[in-house]
Amino acid sequence: MIPGAFEYHRPGSVDEVVTLLTKHGDEGRVVAGGHSLIPMMKLRLAVPTHLIDLGSVADLKDIKAAGPTVEIGAMTTQHDLIASDLLAEACPILREVALTIADPQVRYCGTVGGNVANGDPGNDMPAVMQCLGATFVLKGPGGERKVAAREFYEAAYFTARKDDEILTSISIPTPASGHGYAYEKLKRKVGDYAIAAAAVVLTMDGGTCKSAAIALTNVGDTPIFAEAAGQALVGTAIDDGAVAKAVAAAKAVAQPAADMRGPKEYRVHAAGVMTGRAIKRALTRAKR
Amino acid sequence: MSNVAVKMTVNGQVVEAAVEPRVLLIHFLRENLGITGPHIGCETSHCGACTVELDGKSVKSCTVFAAQAEGANITTVEGMANADGTLSALQEGFMQEHGLQCGYCTPGMIMRAHRLLQENSNPSEDEIRMGLSGNLCRCTGYQNIVKAVRYAADKMNGRQEAAE
**What does the pLDDT look like over A193-226, one tens digit per residue?**
999 999 999 999 999 999 999 999 999 999 999 9
> Is B137 part of any domain?
yes
Domain that holds residue B139: 89-159
Q: Cβ B22–A55 below 8 Å, yes or no?
A: no
Query: pLDDT tens-digit profile of A38-83?
Result: 999 999 999 999 999 999 998 898 999 988 999 999 999 999 999 9
Question: Which strands sit side by side in the sheet containing B57-60, from one edge to the other?
Answer: B13-19, B4-10, B73-75, B51-54, B57-60
Are B62 and A37 spatial neighbours (Cβ–Cβ below 8 Å)?
A: no
- pLDDT reading at B159 higher than 70: no
Contact A12/B at CB under 8 A: no
**On the CB side of A211, how many CA atoms lie within 13 Å of its CA?**
13
Of all residues in chain B, the one with the smallest CA distance to A101 is B134
Mean of pLDDT values over B35-49: 96
Name the β-bridge partners of A215.
Answer: A199, A225
Among candidates B1, B64, B134 on the partner chain, residue whose Cβ is nearest the Cβ of A191: B134
Which chain B residues have any C-beta within 8 angstroms of a chain A C-beta?
Answer: 1-2, 4, 20-22, 24, 43-46, 48, 51, 57-60, 63-65, 67-68, 70, 112, 115-116, 130-131, 133-134
**Same domain membership, residue B98 and residue B63:** no
- How far off is chain A from B34, nearest CA to CA, in Å? 19
**Same domain membership, residue B121 and residue B75:** no
Q: Cβ A103–B1 below 8 Å, yes or no?
A: no
With beta carbons under 8 A apart, name residues in chain A contacting B20.
5
**Same domain membership, residue B66 and residue B95:** no
Are A272 and A186 spatial neighbours (Cβ–Cβ below 8 Å)?
A: no
* Count of structural domains within chain B: 2
Q: Cβ B1–A7 below 8 Å, yes or no?
A: yes
> Is B21 part of any domain?
yes
**Same domain membership, residue B151 and residue B96:** yes
| Domain-ending residue, one of B79, B102, B133 | B79
State the distance between the two ends of chain B, measured CA to CA, in whole angstroms.
56
At residue B163 the predicted structure's pLDDT band, cuts being 50, 70 and 90, is: very low
**Same domain membership, residue B110 and residue B65:** no
At residue A265 the predicted structure's pLDDT band, cuts being 50, 70 and 90, is: very high
SS3 at position A31: strand
Query: pLDDT tens-digit profile of B55-88?
Result: 999 999 999 999 999 999 999 999 999 999 999 9
- How far off is chain B from A62, nearest CA to CA, in Å? 19
Q: Cβ B58–A104 below 8 Å, yes or no?
A: yes
For testing contact with chain B, the best of A1, A2, A7, A8 (most B CBs within 10 A): A8
How far is A66 from B141, CA to CA, in rounded Å?
Answer: 46
Query: pLDDT tens-digit profile of A106-121?
Result: 999 999 999 999 999 9
> Is B149 part of any domain?
yes
**Same domain membership, residue B60 and residue B22:** yes
- Strands (E) across chain B are located at 4-10, 13-19, 51-54, 57-60, 73-75
- How far off is chain B from A107, nearest CA to CA, in Å? 9
At residue B146 the predicted structure's pLDDT band, cuts being 50, 70 and 90, is: very high
Q: Cβ B112–A104 below 8 Å, yes or no?
A: yes
Task: Indicate the pTM of the whole model.
Answer: 0.95
